[in-house]
Amino acid sequence: MVRFKNRYITIEVEPVKIPKTNSWELDTGKLYKAIVNTLSTLHGDFGVASTTGGFSVKYCNKETKIGIIRCRHGPHKLIASIIPFIKQIDNNQVQLNTLYTGATLHQCYKFIKSYQLNHLRKFYSMLHDVEKHKYFEYEKSAMDLKVFNKTK
């Protein structure tokens, strides 16, 4: 039996016209459709056929707008090449940034954990002591990585 290797691409979705104070939920289905639509536009039927075999969106965090895409090793280069060209998700203008590409979900988990901790440290350094207590709930939701604990 042949073992298929997967690659996990960690991305960050930044809404362009939506202010950071407004909530906009990143959904796995909407992100999947946006990737497949852009893939069919840029790489045609070949791109869609070669990537959809092992392609899925594994994780989306609503607060930090970070997601993980799983795809097969080889066609992952096609998906990685179209990520900067995705400009709309569910009629909202967005900009996607590739943060990390890893071979296992656990490596992506470790990267996201350190990335979010660094982001929170920068955020807390700009606040006064009184304001830090208000953002404790934000920290709990930003570090919500329950999906990864199920996969172990």
First to last CA, the chain: 23
Identify the pLDDT of residue 62: 81
Using CA atoms, how far residue 134 sits from 33, 41, 95, 128, in Å, is 36, 44, 29, 11
CATH superfamily of 6-151: Ribonuclease P, Pop5 subunit (3.30.70.3250)
Identify the pLDDT of residue 64: 82
Using CA atoms, how far residue 132 sits from 21, 123, 142, in Å, is 17, 10, 15
Identify the pLDDT of residue 151: 47
Of 98 and 62, the structure prediction assigns the larger pLDDT to 98
Identify the pLDDT of residue 133: 55
**pLDDT tens across 18-56, in order?**
776 677 788 899 999 999 999 999 999 999 999 988 899
User: Encoding tokens for residue 48?
Assistant: 């869609």
Interior CA angle at 55 toward 54 and 58, to 5°? Answer: 115
Q: Which amino acid is it at 123?
A: F
Domain boundaries, the chain: 6-151
